[in-house]
Amino acid sequence: MTKEEILQHLPYAPPFLFVDELEYIDEEKVTGIFTFRADMPCYKGHFKGHPVTPGVLLTEVMAQTGLACLGIYLLKDEVRKQLPTVAMTAAHIDFYLPVAPGETVKAKATKIYFRFNKLKCRVELYNTAGALVCDGTIEGMIIKK
Amino acid sequence: MDKETFIEQLREIVRPYAKNQEALATIDLSTDFIKDLKINSANLVDVILDVEEKYDIVIQNEEMERMLDVQAAFDIVQTKLSEK
């Protein structure tokens, strides 16, 4: 499955799509890129008069790259038939630097395991300058209907 | 392996994941991982992976789906160990 196909299969749409492009993907790891446009509505309220990208959205970039994109890649043909229902089940993240409006971030995820419909990844997020913004582990499950 | 030994070892495996620590104290063969110990389905996967590691066995998808209580876990681990 190509990087473009993976993006087309993502179950998200603006304003909650947080992957612009995939730089790299294989069965073990993935790198995604996203630009936090300065006109995004979240900056009006986070914080009043002092816009900083919310940590939950940084986590979301890592989850959409590391769980959704990598998960779709690992499931391949199954995804082509029917998009599975997925849920994030845990995120343990440490934050080191703020991300300003307009910054482009790079999310790197490495698979720890994919067993019994659960994907667990080690994740890292880097800012435009290449400095580590946050890292941790994130996991999600495919929900059987 | 007798069931007392297994239950003691399993108690230590599930300890970090069990939301209901009181139920953990009285764990027996009838204890249900999700209903009694309040382990969520995502953490139940980690329990199974820790069981695999502890007993050096590989659990299949269909066995995992049956492994919802201590009795089922005991039966599956016993079978796997006897096949070694």
Q: Tens digit of pLDDT for each residue in A87-130? A: 999 999 999 999 999 999 999 999 999 999 999 999 999 999 99
Checking if the pLDDT of A145 tops 70, the result is: no
CB atoms under 10 Å from CB of A64, counted, come to: 22
CB-based contact A118 B42, cutoff 8 Å: yes
Q: Which of A89, A115, A141 sits opposite B49 (nearest CB)?
A: A115
Contact in structure between A100 and A113 (CB atoms under 8 Å): no
Closest chain A residue by Cα to residue B67: A116
The range of the structural domain enclosing residue B34 comes to: 3-78
CB-based contact A141 B49, cutoff 8 Å: no
The tokens for B42 are 């995502």
**A chain contacts of residue B49, beta-carbon cutoff 8 Å:** 113, 115
Looking at the predicted complex, does its ipTM rise above 0.95?
no
The answer to whether residue B52 is domain-embedded is yes
The tokens for B83 are 């096949």
CB-based contact A141 B61, cutoff 8 Å: no
Please tell me if residue B57 touches chain A, with a CB cutoff of 8 Å: no
Checking if the pLDDT of B84 tops 90, the result is: no
To which residue do tokens 């816009």 refer?
Answer: A51
The answer to whether residue B83 is domain-embedded is no
Looking at residue A77, what is its pLDDT?
A: 79
Pairing between β-strand A29-35 and β-strand A104-115 as defined by DSSP bridges:
antiparallel
Please tell me if residue A90 touches chain B, with a CB cutoff of 8 Å: yes
Nearest to A109 by CA among A89, A139, A78, A131: A139
Query: Among residues of chain B, what percentage have pLDDT more than 90?
Result: 98
**B chain contacts of residue A140, beta-carbon cutoff 8 Å:** 42
The answer to whether residue B13 is domain-embedded is yes
Looking at residue A70, what is its pLDDT?
A: 95
The answer to whether residue B84 is domain-embedded is no
Please tell me if residue A112 touches chain B, with a CB cutoff of 8 Å: no
* A83 — pLDDT class (breaks 50, 70, 90): confident
CA distance linking residue A57 with residue A69, whole number of Å = 16
The answer to whether residue B15 is domain-embedded is yes
Question: What residues of A are annotated to the active site?
Answer: 46
Query: Among residues of chain A, what percentage have pLDDT more than 70?
Result: 99
**B chain contacts of residue A90, beta-carbon cutoff 8 Å:** 42
CATH of the domain at B30: 1.10.1200.10
The domain tally of chain B equals: 1
The answer to whether residue B50 is domain-embedded is yes
Q: Can you tell me whether residue B59 is helix, strand or coil?
A: coil
Residue A144 DSSP one-character state:
P
Mean confidence (pLDDT) of chain A: 94
Please tell me if residue B48 touches chain A, with a CB cutoff of 8 Å: yes
Q: What are chain A's domains?
A: 3-143 (3.10.129.10)
